[in-house]
Amino acid sequence: MAIQSFIPPQRTLMGPGPSDVSQRVLSALARPTIGHLDPEFITMMDEVKQLLQYAFKTKNENTMAISAPGSAGMEACFVNLITPDDTVVVCRNGVFGARMIENVQRIGAKLVIVDSPWGRAVEPQRLEDTLKAHPQANFVAFVHAETSTGACSDAKSLCEIAKRYQCLTIVDAVTSLGGIELRVDDWGIDAIYSGSQKCLSCVPGISPVSFSEQASEVIQRRSTPVQSWFLDQSLVMGYWSGKGKRAYHHTAPVNSLYALHESLLMLQQEGIENAWHRHQSQHQVLAQGLTELGLNFIVPEAERLPQLNAVYIPQGIDDASVRQMLLQEYNLEIGAGLGEFAGKAWRIGLMGFTARRENVALCLTAMAEALKKHR
Ligand SMILES: *Cc1c(COP(=O)(O)O)cnc(C)c1O
């Protein structure tokens, strides 16, 4: 049979990302493609940068959107800043902290790991004890919102400790940006990366990043070239901030950047603090409903992410069958467990445009039905 156009089903995306993309953002994506060095496009890139500075709450000049998913943003932060001479303290409380460790290992830098239990926030005291024991450490890296477990770490305190020990900070904000409080400048974050498809509710494939003045100096002072040509910030910066004289580095994903522009504009129009509150209030309704269904949260209340609700799968219930039923009968996607929680948990996302009352109601109705059928 001849292959035909692909028409995806209309789903409600309540997993760990991507989240639902609004019609407004999809419409932006469908506007005419223009050249990536067209003056009109360059003006739009400048606006994307301004909107990202708003979302990150930073004045960092070195703020941009990498043309690749969140994982590339992670890699960009590590390969640009770290050399084999450095000592990096990585806090691990889930899958994404473990990926940071792999990045450090591949660079060949000295690595010190601070482990906290999965499903809990990173413990500030453990970081402090580790920094005391390793005075040569010059970087601290951690995940603000651990999507694999639903735990929120206290980014402000962790950065404050890192600064007291003269360390630069690298923060994963893939799931936190737009969903919970995040203040890059006030908290002293030196390198941060996020993703387009979580609480920004844009299409996947773009990674917003920002580097502080001090981090940018470290990159400029490098004596060895960055091991990745594509992610080398000293080259990409000439493309994103060439002040009218932009140097061709690669071809930006033109239409995807229209979409990011629109989703960031929506965030600015809503007001980022309002977006944080919306995530929290929808989470509270969802959490109460899930608890009434007899589901138990993995993360203690004080450390929970509103945008990622991880609950234990009740004894004797078939994980895959429940998720299949939700997808087939309700067009509802929820996430499976990851890493230590594979087969043991569901991860219910309330990210960005998905975090609305009607989706919470749909999810609770569908879960109630699915649990009843499977008990
Ligand atoms: C999703 C996610 C990533 C990876 O982002 P991709 O866009 O899938 O590459 C990294 N860190 C965290 C915390 C995430 O949730």
Tokens standing for residue 99: 């990926």
Domain membership of residue 40 (yes or no) is yes
At residue 297, the 3 state secondary structure works out as strand
Ligand 1 binding pocket includes 69 (Cβ within 6 Å): yes
- Gap between the Cα atoms of 12 and 348, Å rounded: 11
State how many domains the chain has.
Answer: 2
- At 247 the pLDDT is 82
Give the pairing of strands 207-211 and 62-66. antiparallel
- At 237 the pLDDT is 86
Residue with CA closest to ligand 1 atom 5 = 70
Pocket test for ligand 1, best of 174, 180, 200 (most atoms within 8 A of CB): 174
On whether both 219 and 314 belong to a single domain, the answer is: no
Q: Are 259 and 28 in contact (CB under 8 A)?
A: yes
On whether both 248 and 287 belong to a single domain, the answer is: no
Tokens standing for residue 278: 């919306």
On whether both 260 and 148 belong to a single domain, the answer is: yes
At residue 320, the 3 state secondary structure works out as helix
More confidently predicted of 240 and 90: 90
- At 328 the pLDDT is 97
Interior CA angle at 21 toward 64 and 59, to 5°? 25
- At 343 the pLDDT is 95
On whether both 261 and 280 belong to a single domain, the answer is: no
Domain membership of residue 2 (yes or no) is no
- Over the stretch 286-337, which tens digit does the pLDDT of each residue have? 999 999 999 999 999 999 999 999 999 999 999 999 999 999 999 999 999 9
Tokens standing for residue 60: 């960092």
| Closest atom, ligand 1, to C-alpha of 72 | 9
Q: Which residues of 148-163 are buried (b: 16+ CB within 10 A; e: fewer)?
A: bbbbbbbbbbbbebbe
Ligand 1 binding pocket includes 206 (Cβ within 6 Å): no
Q: Which of 236, 268, 300 is the last residue of a domain?
A: 268
CA–centroid distance, 365 to ligand 1, in Å, is 29
CA–centroid distance, 102 to ligand 1, in Å, is 14
Distances 98 to 113, 114, 175, 176 between C-alpha atoms, Å = 9, 11, 16, 18
Domain membership of residue 43 (yes or no) is yes
CA–centroid distance, 290 to ligand 1, in Å, is 25
Q: Report residue 319 CA to chain centroid gap.
A: 25
Is the pLDDT at 243 greater than 70? The verdict is no
Is the pLDDT at 43 greater than 70? The verdict is yes
On whether both 124 and 248 belong to a single domain, the answer is: yes
- At 375 the pLDDT is 87
Any idea what the CATH number is for the domain that residue 323 is in? Answer: 3.90.1150.10
CA–centroid distance, 148 to ligand 1, in Å, is 10
Can you count the helices (H) and strands (E) in the chain?
A: 13, 13
- Over the stretch 176-212, which tens digit does the pLDDT of each residue have? 999 999 999 999 999 999 999 999 999 999 999 999 9
In 3D space, the residue among 354, 370, 362 whose CA is nearest the CA of residue 317 turns out to be: 370
On whether both 252 and 343 belong to a single domain, the answer is: no
- At 246 the pLDDT is 83
On whether both 178 and 42 belong to a single domain, the answer is: yes
- At 303 the pLDDT is 98
On whether both 234 and 308 belong to a single domain, the answer is: no
Ligand 1 binding pocket includes 75 (Cβ within 6 Å): no
CA–centroid distance, 374 to ligand 1, in Å, is 31
Q: Are 219 and 211 in contact (CB under 8 A)?
A: yes
Domain membership of residue 32 (yes or no) is yes
Domain membership of residue 324 (yes or no) is yes
Averaged pLDDT for residues 70-98:
98
- At 244 the pLDDT is 61
- Gap between the Cα atoms of 206 and 213, Å rounded: 23
Q: Which of 232, 251, 268 is the last residue of a domain?
A: 268
| Closest atom, ligand 1, to C-alpha of 176 | 13
Any idea what the CATH number is for the domain that residue 233 is in? Answer: 3.40.640.10
Which residues in the chain belong to E strands, given as ranges? 12-14, 62-66, 87-92, 110-115, 139-143, 145-146, 151-152, 168-172, 191-193, 207-211, 308-312, 332-336, 345-349
On whether both 159 and 259 belong to a single domain, the answer is: yes
- Gap between the Cα atoms of 87 and 93, Å rounded: 20
More confidently predicted of 210 and 247: 210
CA–centroid distance, 337 to ligand 1, in Å, is 15
Q: At what angle do helices 70-81 and 213-220 cross, to 10 degrees?
A: 60
Domain membership of residue 316 (yes or no) is yes
Domain membership of residue 5 (yes or no) is no
Ligand 1 binding pocket includes 175 (Cβ within 6 Å): yes
Ligand 1 binding pocket includes 174 (Cβ within 6 Å): yes
Averaged pLDDT for residues 13-37:
97
Q: Please, what is the average pLDDT of the chain?
A: 97
Ligand 1 binding pocket includes 68 (Cβ within 6 Å): no
Residue with CA closest to ligand 1 atom 2 = 174
Pocket test for ligand 1, best of 71, 152, 351 (most atoms within 8 A of CB): 71
- Gap between the Cα atoms of 283 and 199, Å rounded: 13
- At 238 the pLDDT is 83
In 3D space, the residue among 193, 132, 196, 192 whose CA is nearest the CA of residue 166 turns out to be: 132
The answer to whether the annotation marks 164 as part of a ligand binding site is no
| Closest atom, ligand 1, to C-alpha of 196 | 7
Q: Which residues of 56-83 are buried (b: 16+ CB within 10 A; e: fewer)?
A: bbbebbbbbbbbbbbebbbbbbbbbbbb
Beta-carbon-side half-sphere exposure of residue 38 (alpha carbons within 13 Å): 10
| Max Cα distance, the chain (Å) | 66
In 3D space, the residue among 169, 245, 236 whose CA is nearest the CA of residue 207 turns out to be: 236
Ligand 1 binding pocket includes 171 (Cβ within 6 Å): no
On whether both 64 and 39 belong to a single domain, the answer is: yes
- At 242 the pLDDT is 61
Domain that holds residue 327: 12-17+272-374
Is the pLDDT at 245 greater than 80? The verdict is no
101: left (phi over 0), alpha (psi -120 to 50) or beta: alpha
Give the pairing of strands 87-92 and 145-146. unpaired
On whether both 249 and 340 belong to a single domain, the answer is: no
- Gap between the Cα atoms of 5 and 27, Å rounded: 19
Ligand 1 binding pocket includes 205 (Cβ within 6 Å): no
Domain membership of residue 7 (yes or no) is no
CA–centroid distance, 195 to ligand 1, in Å, is 7
Q: Which amino acid is at 89?
A: V
- Over the stretch 111-135, which tens digit does the pLDDT of each residue have? 999 999 999 999 999 999 999 999 9
Q: Which of 268, 300, 331 is the last residue of a domain?
A: 268
Quick one: what percent of the chain has pLDDT higher than 70?
A: 99
On whether both 138 and 174 belong to a single domain, the answer is: yes
